[in-house]
Amino acid sequence: MDRFYSLQHTPIEFHFRQSPRDFVVDEIPLYPFSGEGEHFVFQLRKKNLTTLEVVGMLSKHLGVKSKEIGYAGLKDKNALTKQYFSIHKSLEEKLKTFENIGVKILETTYHDNKIKTGHLQGNRFFIRLKKVTPLAAKKMDQALKEIKKKGMPNFFGYQRFGMFGDNHIIGEKIAKGEKSERNKKLKQIYISSYQSHLFNLWLSKRLEISALVNSFETEELTNLLNMPSEKIEVLKKQEHPFKMLQGDLLMHYPYGRVFYHEDEENIQRFNERDVSITGLLCGERVKLAQDDAYTIEKQYDDEINADGVRRYAWIYPTEIEKNYREEEAWYELHFTLPKGAYATVLIEELAKRPLKEHLND
């Protein structure tokens, strides 16, 4: 898909390839572990392995089913990542004999509950960009200031769509009953990819609309957006680069309940990062937008045999740190993202182009 980027600068050239040296992820737990309980929790560092590959290794070594191993989220393969896993404490001794060249257990504790998917606060990233000229570094400095101040769109990253970027095509066929997949985990991955593809298309469209509102006069926009001038004036008064439409479904940020935008005070709350706009991951049992927001959303909705959910459309990276090493032409970044957000999307926002180097790994 052709993504619409939120920042205004021209594309920035640099080299980026995911690798354990240049891409590091530290998982941030949702809450501190209690230190006691029936579940043995361990922080594991992995290199060049997916989370599911590690789960498979642990499952085989411990002699238990994969579902008995708890983890909060899936981490990148081509990276050095640290994340937490949990098993029943009766398996603790057996775990001590687990060995793999790409895996190391760093610390251990106990907790009352098994770690479940989604039970994390976010992730801390380190990324090294290479072949960065001084001019490119200055442009990235300014772009990061904008992201720090205004936030960024919460696209799904290329990792969501598989090695060849076509998982969503298979997912659509599976979701509509045109293709079967016996492996339950693989089936879910494919269907999620299709939902993510539609979300990305919707988000790109909303960014395009927001850019048009900022760039054209009201009279021109009435035809471009097929919207009365009164509503366009409301949009043009909004300070935020991502415009809130009547009928948008909002969610308290960084977590909270979903509710409809029916009060103009929500615009200021969005500016203050108290709430954020959500987009649709299509499916069953999910709230849909209304009014003007639904006019856009329905174009990217689909009836599929899967549960739907709302996802933040706009997020705010925190603790952004940067260091330009001119002699090496390296631009090094540290930043924290909420759960479900992709570090590579931030890098693509800086570059204003897709990062396709991963396809050559």
Closest Cα partner for 236 from 252, 215, 250, 251?
215
Fold of 160-315: Pseudouridine synthase (3.30.2340)
Q: At what angle do helices 184-215 and 229-236 cross, to 10 degrees?
A: 100
| pLDDT confidence band for 1 (50 / 70 / 90) | low
pLDDT at 357 over 70: no
pLDDT at 358 over 50: no
Give the separation between CA 151 and CA 318, rounded to whole angstroms: 9
CB atoms within 10 A of CB 186: 14
Question: What local confidence, expressed as pLDDT, does residue 355 receive?
Answer: 83
pTM: 0.93
Closest Cα partner for 306 from 159, 198, 213?
198
Give the separation between CA 38 and CA 107, rounded to whole angstroms: 17
Contacts of 182-190 with C-beta under 8 Å, sequence gap 24+, read: 185/52
Closest Cα partner for 227 from 295, 180, 279?
295
Domains of the chain: which residue ranges? 23-121, 160-315
| pLDDT confidence band for 198 (50 / 70 / 90) | very high
Write down the CATH number for the domain with range 23-121: 3.30.2350.20
| pLDDT confidence band for 163 (50 / 70 / 90) | confident
Closest Cα partner for 42 from 120, 108, 112, 117?
108
| pLDDT confidence band for 235 (50 / 70 / 90) | very high
Mean pLDDT of 118-123: 93
Q: Could you please report the per-residue DSSP string of 243-308? A: PPPTT-EEEESSS--EEE--STHHHHHHHTTSEEEEEEE-SBS-----HHHHHHHGGG----SSB-
Give the separation between CA 293 and CA 289, rounded to whole angstroms: 6
Mean pLDDT of 185-200: 94
Closest Cα partner for 18 from 167, 126, 120?
126
Q: Return the residue matching tokens 């398996």.
A: 91
What distance lies between CA 29 and its chain's CA centroid? 16
Provide the token pair at 312: 């933040």
Tell me if residue 76 is catalytic. Answer: yes
CB atoms within 10 A of CB 71: 23
With pLDDT > 70 as the criterion, what percentage of the chain qualifies? 98
Q: 284-319 pLDDT, tens per residue?
A: 999 999 999 999 999 999 999 889 999 999 999 999
Give the separation between CA 186 and CA 168, rounded to whole angstroms: 12
| pLDDT confidence band for 361 (50 / 70 / 90) | very low
Alpha helices in 32-127 (DSSP H): 51-62, 92-95
Mean pLDDT of 32-40: 96
The mean pLDDT of the chain is 94
Which residues face 109 on adjacent strands?
Answer: 41
Give the separation between CA 114 and CA 72, rounded to whole angstroms: 10
Q: Which of 22, 26, 76, 248 is catalytic?
A: 76
pLDDT at 360 over 60: no
Give the separation between CA 258 and CA 285, rounded to whole angstroms: 14
Q: Return left, alpha or beta for 4; rule: phi > 0 is left, psi -120 to 50 is alpha, else beta.
A: beta
Mean pLDDT of 267-281: 97
Running DSSP on this structure, what letter comes out for residue 159? G
**HSE value, Cβ hemisphere, 13 Å, CA-based, for 146:** 18
- Stretch (H or E) spanning 153: strand 152-153
